Amino acid sequence: MATDVLILGGFAFEDFSVPNEMPGGGNQAMVVHKLPGGSRVIDTLGPDDAPVAFTGQMFADNAFDQALALDAMRVAGEVIPLIWGGQTKQVVIEKFTFKVKRLPNWVTYDISCVVAQDPTQGDLTAVDSSVDSNVSSDLSSASSAATDPFGGAAVPAGTPPI
């Protein structure tokens, strides 16, 4: 029988410490331009993953030490892997709070992680570089047109000077 395991950084949630629920999904980042007459132009900017927030309990002889280890990961503020349900995301622990119910055996916790990168979404920096090159090319063309509006062609007779 397979067991549920969730790994956050180097910490494995197992047995009683695995949360009962794990959220998924998020939003689509976008800008909506409202035009006269009620028309809209929507620019989609890509996925904006919701924070991965979960709650659970740790019931073990070292539960308090485990809570302190997770809190140290929050304090460090580093990007770490979150692995569960066959997925891996790079996250930063935004919030970690815990309550000691019975020392040292029982600790409840709440964790919220901000997704820094979802490997399934691919690398969006390639899109940025192509946009940059297109903008640079357009600016260059506009600059050339402004300095030489006829593109090096002969000026038609009778055209007033600019």
Write out the DSSP string of 48-117. EEPPEEEEEEEESTTHHHHHHHHHHHHHHT--EEEEETTEEEEEEEEEEEEEEEETTTEEEEEEEEEEEE
pLDDT digits over 21-34, tens only? Answer: 999 999 999 999 99
- Band (43; pLDDT cuts 50, 70, 90): very high
Are residues 18 and 4 in contact, defined by beta-carbon separation less than 8 angstroms? Answer: yes
Q: Is the pLDDT of residue 109 over 70?
A: yes
CB atoms near residue 50 (< 10 Å): 13
Residue type, 145: A
Q: Which of 24, 98, 88, 7 lies closest to 58, judged by CA?
A: 98
User: What tokens appear for 106 in the block?
Assistant: 């029982």
Name which of 31-45, 114-128, 139-153 the model is least confident about: 139-153
Edge-to-edge strand ranges of the sheet holding 106-117: 11-13, 6-8, 80-84, 87-102, 106-117, 52-59
pLDDT tens string 48-89: 999 999 999 999 999 999 999 999 999 999 999 999 988 899
**pTM of full prediction above 0.85:** no
